Chain A
Amino acid sequence: MVKGVTPAHEAVILLLLGIAFSLLVFNLNLYPYEKLILLGVALIIFTIFFSSALRA
């Protein structure tokens, strides 16, 4: 772990990253199903990191 960065901080960072990414994908000029694929991938990855950060 980085000194001074608590798991709660990391969880917030990941949460913000996830929201920003979702907004980015939402505004991309892609077909809806392509956005869903991207959001699904992002959701899986960020959920894993979010939960592991909370567990730490």
Chain B
Amino acid sequence: MKIFVAFVLALILASALLPFLALAKSGTVPPPDLTEIMCEQKTDEKGHKYWECFTSLKKKIHVFGTEYFPLEDGRIYIQLLSKDQPVNNALCLIDLYYPDLTVWFDDAAMFYLNGSEGLYYFDVIIPDMPGVYMTTVKCFYIIDETYDYADNAVILHGVETGSYMDTWKDDNQYHEVDEKLVAGGGYALDFYYEFYNVSIPENYTGMTVYWIGRWDSPEEYVWFDVYDWCNDTWVELPNEASTNTPMVSNYIDVSEYNVSCLVSDGTVRVRIHDTNWDEKEVAGHFMTDYIDVQMHYASFGAIENIRGGGELHVRDTSIQTILLKSVEDMITEKLIQNHDYCLDNKTHVKELLIEKCYFGECYNVTKRIVEVCDYGCNVQVGECYPPPYERLGIVIAIIAAIVIIVYLIRRFVW
């Protein structure tokens, strides 16, 4: 009898612990499906359980000449000299090619370093792609610009943080628009800036849209469009933003496009949108530090004469060769936290907070995996309901357990 009483007490204890185990499970998901990753379950200070995973991909890179690592900041710069004198009012366009000879940047306008002796630069974040990156630069001078800054932001799809006024200075104060889940689809980003009072100067040679910021979703690119008021359509610009582009510029030459059609009553619209609205993995953050629209015009006469000016010397001291052997050593990923919840009665979201470190620089990425639950989503537990036969089995098993316990108590205690 004493043994039986002890059994009942043990049963009570186990029953009392089970709900807490169930509660702990509700905030925990199995380790993500990543290959060659070691995971262990841990408990944080508040008692929440989570999986901590760590992997070392063992990657390393060696660079020929100047040494660059994947995801390291790279800077391409030139010094423009004419008759050994620096030229500070030029328009320099850069072409940059991936190692597989596909185009990364096509006629992207370089940024002039204010106060320098003819220095123009363009920043990239070195991609995780081995090989040789070739670049060419061409400059036109003497070119002046008019500068116009954003006067409005219209969000079509996305969640806005900050204001368009945050884009007026390159000061690390961002106007952020995050991707938003669209009905029946994935995450979408679509918005445009409006620039008012843009004037078209005489002898204009083209228009450039400059952008500085960050896009943190490696799954897809973000495109820049300008609105063609003559044809009521958006014109896609060649250079897109990716996680490897802290700055993007698109130059539209008058010889290639009717730039006057891009301005209506002094208004220019620049649209920014992602490419894949079916993507449900990550809600990307598009952060704009600076954006402007510049109208270029020839200061003295026609552009042909300037282009023909002979004493132009462009010295490109950029990355000429990037030789990549391996980058595996320095890249690590660590799952910091995971969280399960129901977006609605049918949609289950698994949110993973992952810390990615590249050569000592770490940043957090939130990965969301969205799944549609066949039998509904349990908002309380944050999980999909199991199939009916499984739930029926649970109910029958528990009722059977009650009956057995009652029978045993009646048989041996009373």
User: Which residues of A are at the interface with B, using a C-beta cutoff of 8 A?
Assistant: 1-3, 5, 10, 13, 16-17, 19-21, 23-31, 34, 37-38, 41-42, 45, 49, 52, 56
How many Å from the CB of A20 to the closest CB on chain B? 4
In this complex, the interface size class of chain B, counting residues with CB under 8 Å from chain A, is 20 to 34
Q: Which chain A residues border B26 with CB–CB below 8 Å? A: 27
Docked-complex contact A38 and B395, CB < 8 angstroms: yes
Q: Which chain A residues border B402 with CB–CB below 8 Å? A: 21, 41-42, 45
Closest to B390 in A: A29
Docked-complex contact B406 and A24, CB < 8 angstroms: no
Q: Is B8 an interface residue (CB 8 A)?
A: yes
Closest to B409 in A: A49
Question: Can you offer 27 A-B residue contacts whose CB atoms are under 8 A?
Answer: A1-B414, A2-B4, A2-B5, A5-B5, A5-B413, A13-B8, A13-B12, A17-B8, A19-B16, A20-B12, A20-B18, A23-B16, A24-B19, A24-B22, A25-B398, A27-B22, A27-B23, A29-B378, A30-B391, A30-B394, A30-B395, A31-B391, A37-B395, A38-B398, A38-B399, A49-B409, A52-B414
Docked-complex contact A28 and B413, CB < 8 angstroms: no
Closest to B18 in A: A24
**Stretch binding the partner chain, chosen from B156-164, B257-265, B351-359, B380-388:** B380-388
Docked-complex contact A45 and B22, CB < 8 angstroms: no
Docked-complex contact A49 and B406, CB < 8 angstroms: yes
Docked-complex contact B12 and A17, CB < 8 angstroms: yes
Q: Which chain A residues border B16 with CB–CB below 8 Å? A: 16, 19-20, 23
Q: Which chain B residues border A30 with CB–CB below 8 Å? A: 385, 391, 394-395
